[in-house]
Structure 1
Amino acid sequence: MTIKEDVEHGVQKGTKEPLIREHKSQLVPASKRHPWMVYFTTFVAVCGSYEFGACAGYSSPTQDAITEDLNLSLAEYSLFGSILTIGAMIGAITSGPVADFIGRKGAMRVSSAFCVAGWFVICFSEGPVPLDIGRLATGYGMGVFSFVVPVFIAEIAPKDLRGALTTLNQFMITAGVSVAYVIGTVLPWRALALTSLIPTSVLLFGLFFIPESPRWLARRGHEKDFEEALQILRGKGADISQEADEIKDYITTLELLPKPKLLELFQRRYLRSLIIGIGLMFCQQLGGINGVCFYTSSIFELAGFSTTVGTIIYACLQIVITGLSVVLIDKAGRKPLLLVSGSGLVAGCIFISVAFYLKVQQVDVGGVPALALIGIMVYIGSFSIGMGAIPWVVMSEIFPINIKGQAGSIATLANWFGAWLCSYTFNFLMSWSSYGTFILYAATNALAILFIVVAVPETKGKSLEELQSTINA
């Protein structure tokens, strides 16, 4: 009897046969296998996250050199720096449809191509126009990466590893930014642009050796490829029958529903997941992170603390705490870490606000630098432990696959709009009131805590299908 006949015979008797060739007695539950292929696949994908960080971190250490070499005005360089966010918004809008149409791997190839082209244009630029075009292209690639990488990882990972592996997305972004800061102090700006080709090269090469998202393959009707991809990810001797059946049954149920148009995403069935996804993205950005991140040096300078020492401490702490969140997320859970993170953000903002208030009032001025340093370290440590990574993790988990492209694009666009709004308004707010700015951020983070308590569910330890059917019931 053939394997196919064995399976059909099993179905007739009401049993589930494993979707692999080994005899059932030789099978090992997928949860007991060592998922080395999942780790390798995740490593390849998060090279895109590192590229994201390299794009974001490029402009800070290169400002003086580019301005001098190309004789740019402050306005021209400001456009160069900010146009990255415009490209990322465009990437966010198109990322979902692209990832749904050509697959998660295909979207990563498109994103990599834009980044490679953009870096070459930047490297050989002799004026502001090609410089801006290159920056816009890398911004587009960054916007696509910001959506597709966490979604891809969530769709390939076992539920007990999904949080930790998805959090690696933020860890690699942080690493990319920090490395760009450090090597940008010793490399010429053109050479720094070329170093950013390394992660995309690793990604493009690695994509030849990793499987496509099984859930995307199942939704597109590629049943054989779906089973093969899931088997590769779970291991040759793993029993994938139960997981495969759950995925197929859930997708079959979704396919019975009409594919929603954009405005139909706001109907009651999907509204809760959309509110959670968009709400967390605004909570992440409107609490002041891009103001603190982009203008760390000027904050330290204003507070009277060494910008070099402060920036190094900042970068090191961010990497260490983000790494700690990778370990904790599947143990402590998403919601507790978000609440701890939000509380720390409020405390950090209060410390910074008090420091600037003392400086303005000329009271205990000698303690201002230390208080500002403590505030920034508490702020960035708190952001790194939860609010930096977990909104992306939750976004990748909560949307049903039939709306993941559209809804994910909306949530990612909300994130980049919030990033632009925060970075654009920061200097205006600081010129209005340095301590008032951080009081405002403290209040925003307090509202974020309230939103998390009321609206955000715990997603730890649940399969995507179980989680999505609960939220969108």
Structure 2
Amino acid sequence: MFDIFAWHHCFYSSTHVGFSSPAQSVIMNDLGLSIAEYSLFSSILTIGAMFGAILSGKIADAIGRKYTMWFSELFCTAGYLVLLTSESALWLDIGRISTGFGVGILSYVVPVYIAEITPKNHRGAFTILNQVMICCGHSTMLVIGNFVSWRMLALIGSIPCLLQLLGLFFIPESPRWLAKVNRWKECESSLQRLRGANADISGEAIDIRVYTETLKQFSDCKLTDLFNRKYAHAMIVGLGLMAFQQAGGVNTIAYYASSIFESAGCSGATGTMAMASVQLPMTILGSLLVDKSGRIPLLMVSAAGSCFGWLLVGLSFLLQQDLQLWKASPILALIGALIFVGSFSLGMGGIPWVIMSEVFPIHIKGLAGSLVTVVNWLGSWLISYSFNFLVQWITSEGTFFMYSIIAGLTLIFVKKLVPETKGRTLEEIQASLVLFTSKN
């Protein structure tokens, strides 16, 4: 039950991401924004998120996972209030960057918190349910945005704030963080609360204690330590998955769905609502399969489907140049976008965050997690800001074909380098990574 509140954070943070897509044309008309100004507004959330990500690990290690989530809410709430009352591009950007800062912190601490409190046999499903809530928030914004003004959309997006602030009073702190800071009695109390009053936690508590005591032999981690050979595999996996997740072009759908569909000759409202109807069921399916089929099969199916989806979208724009085939362009664009959204939601949307929360030992998790999250948000910014310019420079079809190629490369990366973490404790995963590094 405690994960419900953490998932709710993801629902809230995703409403920020989904806010700009259905509101694009209305905001531009109301405030007289140019394409460049709107591109900045739409993508500046990721700038704030990068700053939040830089600090997220340190904050989470210093004050705990629970209070870090509370801290992030201050910026998210303030950002929505500014968006609600904005009358110029400047204030839009200020509100957007404030929400981004909060989301950047949440994007690291929520999956880490869930991974640290969840039993090993359910950790993947519980962590990937982050993505379910992200899809709920994003889909909600896509659908509602077709029927209400953008200011009302901002007001609706602020509603989860109150629920989150109340919910944080009812969740326990991470037992592994409590162990890390030598609060052993609270660690056991938190673990008992999470597992149930009648559950036997002795074995799990001993594993946490032994692992934590072993880690105390290491000095405080510095940024340069992350590139030590013994952490090489974990860093390559964490950084690589986040880079490929964003480089595959997901934020072009998140931020510019309406304009993409309209450019292809399809109704923006129809396209965004169809996306919303596919996104959530596929994410739920992924959460049900992740602890049964494993992380790797889902990632590979997801990457392959994303590759094919973008290929169809690229072909739809290519067909616009043929007078005899241009009528097929809208339906091909819609099918391709739905295949991409469904495939991405199945694995690449959530599983990289699952694996990120699993592969780093706890004494470097704060710094390594921050670095990985920064890379994710940097990629998000580069993709969201560059999209309109890429379309002008290399054409729409060229842009989507490029995303398709990147998704294909993701498939190779996952096959060669990403470890399967299904059914292992966090401590067992660390032991296997050390063994892999020593053999190579």
Scaled by the length of structure 1, what TM-score is found?
A: 0.88
| Deviates most, 440-449 or 362-371 | 362-371
2:403 maps to amino acid: Y
Which deviations, in whole Å up to 9, do the C-alpha atoms of 1:213-235 show, x marking residues without a partner? Answer: 00000001000000000000001
| Partner residue in 2 for 1:285 | 246
Q: Which secondary structure state, in structure 1, belongs to the residue aligned with residue 47 of structure 2?
A: helix
Matched, 1:418 2:379: yes
Which deviations, in whole Å up to 9, do the C-alpha atoms of 1:327-346 show, x marking residues without a partner? Answer: 11111110000011111111
| Partner residue in 2 for 1:132 | 93
Decide whether aligned partners of structure 1 residues 428 and 182 sit closer, same or farther in structure 2, where only a CA change above 3 A counts: same
Give the Cα separation in 2 of the matches to 1:435 and 1:190.
34
Which deviations, in whole Å up to 9, do the C-alpha atoms of 1:138-177 show, x marking residues without a partner? Answer: 1100111111111100000001111111011111111111
Matched, 1:327 2:288: yes
Aligned with residue 456 of structure 1, among 409, 418, 428: 418
Matched, 1:354 2:331: no
Matched, 1:46 2:7: yes
1:327 maps to amino acid: L
Matched, 1:207 2:164: no
| Partner residue in 2 for 1:434 | 396
Compare CA radii of gyration and give the structure with the larger one: 1
Matched, 1:192 2:153: yes
| Partner residue in 2 for 1:60 | 21
Which deviations, in whole Å up to 9, do the C-alpha atoms of 1:296-320 show, x marking residues without a partner? Answer: 2222222222222121111110111
Give the Cα separation in 1 of the matches to 2:131 and 2:332.
27
Matched, 1:312 2:239: no
Q: Which secondary structure state, in structure 1, belongs to the residue aligned with residue 424 of structure 2?
A: coil
1:463 maps to amino acid: T
Whether contact under 8 Å (2:390, 2:396) holds in the other structure is: yes
| Deviates most, 113-122 or 177-186 | 177-186
Task: Give the superposition deviation at 1:446.
Answer: 1.3
Q: Which secondary structure state, in structure 1, belongs to the residue aligned with residue 173 of structure 2?
A: coil
Matched, 1:95 2:65: no
Structure 1 vs Structure 2 CA RMSD: 1.6
Give the Cα separation in 1 of the matches to 2:170 and 2:223.
35
Counterparts in 2 of 1:167-182, with a 5 A limit?
Answer: 167-182=128-143
| Partner residue in 2 for 1:472 | 434
Q: Which secondary structure state, in structure 1, belongs to the residue aligned with residue 64 of structure 2?
A: helix
2:186 maps to amino acid: D
Decide whether aligned partners of structure 1 residues 304 and 130 sit closer, same or farther in structure 2, where only a CA change above 3 A counts: closer
Give the Cα separation in 2 of the matches to 1:128 and 1:113.
22
Decide whether aligned partners of structure 1 residues 122 and 357 sit closer, same or farther in structure 2, where only a CA change above 3 A counts: closer
Task: Give the superposition deviation at 1:371.
Answer: 1.9
Matched, 1:403 2:371: no
Decide whether aligned partners of structure 1 residues 190 and 434 sit closer, same or farther in structure 2, where only a CA change above 3 A counts: closer
Whether contact under 8 Å (2:251, 2:384) holds in the other structure is: yes
2:194 maps to amino acid: L
Q: Which secondary structure state, in structure 1, belongs to the residue aligned with residue 170 of structure 2?
A: coil
| Partner residue in 2 for 1:270 | 231
Q: Which secondary structure state, in structure 2, belongs to the residue aligned with residue 472 of structure 1?
A: helix
Which deviations, in whole Å up to 9, do the C-alpha atoms of 1:411-453 show, x marking residues without a partner? Answer: 1011011111112222232222222222222211111111101
Decide whether aligned partners of structure 1 residues 185 and 440 sit closer, same or farther in structure 2, where only a CA change above 3 A counts: closer
Give the Cα separation in 1 of the matches to 2:76 and 2:427.
33
| Partner residue in 2 for 1:34 | none
Consecutive unaligned residues of structure 1, counting only runs of 5 or more, are 1-39
Counterparts in 2 of 1:156-167, with a 5 A limit?
Answer: 156-167=117-128
2:345 maps to amino acid: S
Task: Give the superposition deviation at 1:64.
Answer: 4.1
Q: Which secondary structure state, in structure 2, belongs to the residue aligned with residue 159 of structure 1?
A: coil
| Partner residue in 1 for 2:438 | none
Decide whether aligned partners of structure 1 residues 366 and 121 sit closer, same or farther in structure 2, where only a CA change above 3 A counts: closer
| Deviates most, 364-373 or 93-102 | 364-373
2:210 maps to amino acid: D
2:114 maps to amino acid: I
2:125 maps to amino acid: A
Which deviations, in whole Å up to 9, do the C-alpha atoms of 1:15-35 show, x marking residues without a partner? Answer: xxxxxxxxxxxxxxxxxxxxx
1:446 maps to amino acid: G
Decide whether aligned partners of structure 1 residues 438 and 76 sit closer, same or farther in structure 2, where only a CA change above 3 A counts: closer
Give the Cα separation in 2 of the matches to 1:185 and 1:309.
10
| Partner residue in 2 for 1:342 | 303
Matched, 1:240 2:201: yes
Scaled by the length of structure 2, what TM-score is found?
A: 0.95
Matched, 1:113 2:67: no
Give the Cα separation in 2 of the matches to 1:472 and 1:152.
23
Give the Cα separation in 1 of the matches to 2:261 and 2:23.
19
Decide whether aligned partners of structure 1 residues 429 and 336 sit closer, same or farther in structure 2, where only a CA change above 3 A counts: same
Decide whether aligned partners of structure 1 residues 254 and 166 sit closer, same or farther in structure 2, where only a CA change above 3 A counts: same
Give the Cα separation in 2 of the matches to 1:189 and 1:297.
14
Decide whether aligned partners of structure 1 residues 76 and 374 sit closer, same or farther in structure 2, where only a CA change above 3 A counts: closer
| Deviates most, 422-431 or 229-238 | 422-431
| Deviates most, 83-92 or 369-378 | 369-378
Task: Give the superposition deviation at 1:128.
Answer: 3.2
Give the Cα separation in 1 of the matches to 2:27 and 2:333.
30
Whether contact under 8 Å (1:47, 1:200) holds in the other structure is: no
| Deviates most, 50-59 or 290-299 | 290-299
